[in-house]
Structure 1
Amino acid sequence: MSGVEIREARCHCGALRLRCEGEPLKVSLCHCRDCQRRTGSAFSVAAFFPRNAVTTVAGTARRFSRGSASGHDVAFLFCPDCGTNLWWEPARLPGLIGVAAGAFADPAFPAPAQAVWCVDRHPWIALPEAVEEHERNPVRR
């Protein structure tokens, strides 16, 4: 056994599944209005893995691309059966894949280290002190 953490993310119906190897490079919470609309929630939480650490193990995803609040395009991949947005590919970070943290259904999954687009945060949301807050999205490569 290699000792490398292997996690599986899946859509709501289970038809689309991803295998993610290793720990996420970062876990980020986003308050932007686009993520609010995309998730139907007040924010989204993404686990970013190196592109070569993520493999589709079941299903074929549909793709929807659009511009983002950061000014870069992002492609969202979702299950054509249940509609779950399972992962996304940000043009701003071409070596990374963002995977919906909730799709791992693991209460022990690492917590977000940062929150971005806090300018759009709902006023009733209080973040833990350990979460680094950014009014917008910091430019990091």
Structure 2
Amino acid sequence: MNDPRVSAFDGGCDCRHVRYRLTDTPLFVRWCQRESGSAFALNAMIEADRVTLLHGDVAVVSTPSNSGRGQQIARCPHCRIAL
């Protein structure tokens, strides 16, 4: 990256309403078609306290899981992309 203001761990949604920065590397990254419903999705797992919200707000959605405990997914309230 040529822009020193942009971290390699910055990200966000497609509509750019939400921007975030990972302050550490993810615990793991995996391809998970079952959970995402997409043939081309990568999921990165990271502790919530290691993500800094730079811009916008998120909508947290509870979804079921095979474990029965469910999971919380943060989504952009505008474009609904999972963050």
Match of residue 18 from structure 2: 16
Identity of aligned residues (%): 30
1:31 alignment partner in structure 2: 33
Deviations 1:60-95 (A, max 9, x none): 111211211232211111111111111xxxxxxxxx
Q: 2:36 & 2:20 partners in 1: Cα distance?
A: 21
Change (3 A) 1:63 1:50: closer
Give the TM-score of the pair, scaled to structure 2: 0.77
Deviation at 1:6, TM superposition (A): 5.1
Secondary structure, in 3 states, of the residue corresponding to 2:25? coil
Question: Deviation at 1:8?
Answer: 0.8
Q: How does 1:1-141 map to 2 (within 5 A)?
A: 7-32=9-34, 34-36=35-37, 41-42=38-39, 44-86=41-83
3-state SS in 2 of match to 1:56: strand
2:4 matched residue in structure 1: none
Structure 1 unpaired stretches of 5+: 87-141
Structure with larger Rg: 1
TM-score (ref. length: structure 1): 0.49
**Cα separation, 1, equivalents of 2:8 and 2:41:** 22
1:34-60 C-alpha deviation (Å, 9 max, x unpaired): 421xxxx22531112222211111111
The number of residue pairs the alignment matches comes to 77
- What is the root-mean-square deviation of aligned Cα atoms in Å? 1.8
